[in-house]
Amino acid sequence: MKATQSKADIYLMALESLSKAEKKAVIARLLEDESLREDFLDIALIQQRQGESSRPFHEYLTEREKRVG
């Protein structure tokens, strides 16, 4: 994990060193890739909902079955 974190820090420092226009261009290019765009949206959603309570998946499935029929 340390090597991954080190690379992430390097890329983040490089991105932060760019001008606003350059940052927008890099981000726009990243978002052109559908797979990366989905990953970014997933990560944003996970971070946004991180403080929410959770429940076991089997409970969700049981409740869903009751609603569907």
> Which pLDDT tens digit goes with each residue over 14-34?
999 999 999 999 999 999 999
**pLDDT band with cut points at 50, 70 and 90 for residue 13:** very high
pLDDT at 1: 67
Whole-structure pTM value: 0.61
pLDDT at 68: 86
Any idea where the domains of the chain sit in the sequence? 2-68
Are 40 and 31 spatial neighbours (Cβ–Cβ below 8 Å)? yes
Average pLDDT over residues 6-11: 94
* φ, ψ (nearest 5 deg) of residue 50: -60, -35
